[in-house]
Amino acid sequence: GTNKNSITVRPGNAGTYQYQVEAADNDGCIGKTTALLSVFENPTVTITPEKSAYCVNEVAKVTAQGGNSYSWTLYDQNTTNSIGDATGPEIILPLAQTTYFEVIAQDVHGCKSNPQHTIITAKPYPVIKNASTNKDYVCTGLDVELAVGNNANYTYLWKTDYQNSSTHTFPT
């Protein structure tokens, strides 16, 4: 017990706790009352990116579950500079750089989760050399080779005109 009109408690587990207090006046009369306290578990939030990597400025989608409301903070790839914040269960935005997403969920009782995070990589577009030909000009009916380099990690899409296109993967 204590001789104060208030105490601070910190229940460690979810459940219902009952606290009783007695007050005595100078004549020895005692009054009693009881306080009930409901303690709820903090929510557990999960964070799910649609993909782990996107091309720069491609639209990224990240979803959170486990709460009633969500608070997001976005950081640069070094997690040193906040580059934005948002609310809601999902974020959909063009990804300008590799981004560290952090989310905290809150339940209907106001209990908050521990922060969860994911990092989504923004990959630069492939660098393609300027197209070149093996001839300065060609006569009707003759072949000419167009080339932009030869990177085994790329799939090249050549558009022969703006209505039709064909995909050729090099090297073959």
Cα distance between residue 137 and residue 98, in whole Å: 44
Between the CA of residue 153 and those of 57, 97, 122, 161, 167, what are the distances in Å? 21, 22, 17, 25, 15
pLDDT, tens digit (0-9, with 9 covering 90-100), for 5-53: 888 999 889 999 999 999 999 999 999 999 999 999 999 999 999 999 9
Statement: residue 80 has pLDDT above 90: no
2 — pLDDT class (breaks 50, 70, 90): low
Q: What is the DSSP letter of 67?
A: S
Cα distance between residue 49 and residue 120, in whole Å: 8
Tokens of 26: 């100078």
Relative to beta strand 46-49, strand 59-65 is antiparallel
